[in-house]
Amino acid sequence: MQLGSRRGSRVATSLFAATAALLGAPSGPSIAQDADQRWQLDTSLSYYGERERVSDVSANVRVQRWFERGVLSLRLALDSLTGASASGAVPSVFAQTFTSPSGNRSYRIDPGSTPLDPTFLDTRYAVSGNWLQSVGARGEIDLGVSASNEYDYFHSGLNARYSIGLNQRNTTLAFGLAFAADSVDPVGGAPVPLAPMLPPGATGNKLGDDSKTVGDVLVGVTQVLGRRTLGQLNYSVSRSEGYLTDPYKVLTVVDPATGDPVAGPGIPYLYRFEARPEQRTKHSLFAQIKHRLGRPVVDVSYRYMTDDWGIDSHTLDFHWRQPIGAHTYLQPHVRYYLQSAADFYRPYLLDGDELPDHASADYRLGELDGVTLGLKLGWPHGDGREWSVRIEYYRQSGRAPPGTEFGSLAGLDVFPTVEAAISQFEYRF
């Protein structure tokens, strides 16, 4: 036999005959193709609505493209925010008049009502791109850029993550870095910290635009714990510097004897713009366990966050994915959140007291807890395609510091409960 012919397809032909003799049956056809999964598209439309407050409609698209060397992901998001948002001022037994952030209009709040700024309206566009590829024998690197734009805010960011599989890939170590540079150009200008709100037309209390930077470092380990369980532990530290104040939030200045707001310069009552520190360092620890219990999958996670503003928070999150038949699953979700107040949080300022360096009456910096209850129904139908619908209810209750509700404030709801409904519709193909 010639050597050349062996190199030819006769090896395969002879081999097939030998295999048929061994197995005692001729071989069947072979039909195999590369899966044409070079593209994956995720789309979702979601609605978030707080009772009597802000609502957000959000459309998201994620496109993933597989290449020989890695995966490219692009995300586009469009948010449309409307409605009213709490200004930070306390309710009063009197009607209150506020100057809108633009400085050229005013709005009125009824006696006893929580002051909500009704001029809240924003559209946010966000784009991001990530490239994921293997590095060396066991590593992987993910590099990303992001940008988003609102009429008063611009964000740009870079991020990188390296992970390496050890111990036959049962352990994965991850290291991440992220950096963001944001600029803020508030409507009407950024207020002078703790300056009084002035009547429409007056601009002596406003400055120009401002900026902030945020740096993040993350280390994490993911560990396979047996055949059904996966555990993850992450530690991250985040440092923000620059303009961290909310330019639209104020504090009411209250008479220490009566609890009523005191008279203001050119407007009925005195409100001062909030002032937050110009640095913030957060540390967070995140632990997660995913466990398969036969067909259902349970996912429990806990996050602890502490920062140098005095906020400590705990988040407990629980998902249970329950398949129903072959083509549907139901996924209940429970989340509990608890946080302590920032050191400079106060529901109002007292007239006659020396002005503090920092103060904010933003309820999101106060002591609060929140519960989320949700349910997701999904219909995966092969090849990675899936429809899903999610509905959630969120309720947040705050606690005013002891002794807060005195005088005329005693009968008012200084720290009202916030309720929100979330619904989401998702299609992946």
Partner 1 sequence: MLRLAEGYWIGSFQAMASPCQVLMEVDDRREAERILAVVAEETWRIETKYSRYLPDSIVQRINQSAGHSVEVDDETARLLDYATRLHQLSDGKFDVTSGVLRRVWRFDGSDRLPTEQAVQDVQRHVGWPRVRWDGRRIELQPAMELDFGGLGKEYAADRAAGRIVESCEGSCLVNLGGDLIVTRPRRGLEPWRVGIEKPDAAVPVATRQIRLTAGGLATSGDAKRFLLRDGVRYGHILDPITGWPVRDAPRSVTVAAGTCLDAGMLATLGMLHGADAETFLEAQNVRHWVLR
Site string for partner 1, 263-282 (x = CB under 8 A): --------------------
DSSP state of 363: G
37 touches partner 1 by CB under 8 A: yes
- Measured in degrees and rounded to the nearest 5, phi and psi for residue 7 equal -70, -20
The secondary element (H helix, E strand) that includes residue 16 is helix 10-23
- Closest Cα partner for 339 from 299, 379, 312? 312
Binding segment for partner 1 (CB under 8 A), chosen from 30-38, 83-91, 98-106, 421-429, is 30-38
138 touches partner 1 by CB under 8 A: yes
Residue 60 C-beta: closest distance to partner 1, Å: 21
What are the tokens at 58?
A: 């959000």
9 touches partner 1 by CB under 8 A: yes
- Closest Cα partner for 96 from 77, 74, 118, 75? 118
132 touches partner 1 by CB under 8 A: yes
Report the residue from 327, 375, 393, 399 that binds partner 1 according to the rule CB under 8 A.
327
Residue (121 or 135) nearer to partner 1, CB:
135
394 contact partners, CB below 8 Å, separation of at least 6: 370, 371, 372, 418, 419, 420, 421, 422
Query: How far is Cα 253 from Cα 202, in angstroms, rounded to an integer?
Result: 20
Report the residue from 32, 167, 402, 403 that binds partner 1 according to the rule CB under 8 A.
32
The count of residues in the chain is 429
- Strands, E, within 225-269: which ranges? 229-242, 250-254
Residue (12 or 357) nearer to partner 1, CB:
12
- Closest Cα partner for 348 from 334, 335, 359, 332? 359
- Closest Cα partner for 270 from 364, 147, 181, 353? 353
Report the residue from 44, 75, 119, 140 that binds partner 1 according to the rule CB under 8 A.
140
Report the residue from 355, 381, 425, 429 that binds partner 1 according to the rule CB under 8 A.
381
Residue (109 or 132) nearer to partner 1, CB:
132
Report the residue from 49, 83, 144, 323 that binds partner 1 according to the rule CB under 8 A.
323
65 touches partner 1 by CB under 8 A: no
22 touches partner 1 by CB under 8 A: yes
Contact 127, 63 (CB under 8 A): no
For residues 145-204, which are near partner 1 according to CB under 8 A?
A: 163-165, 168-169, 172
For residues 286-305, which are near partner 1 according to CB under 8 A?
A: 294-295
End-to-end Cα separation, the chain, in angstroms: 53
Residue 136 C-beta: closest distance to partner 1, Å: 8
- The residues of the shown chain that bind partner 1, judged by CB under 8 A, are 3, 6-9, 11-12, 14-16, 18-19, 21-23, 25, 27-35, 37, 70-71, 132, 134, 136-140, 163-165, 168-169, 172, 294-295, 323, 326-327, 380-383
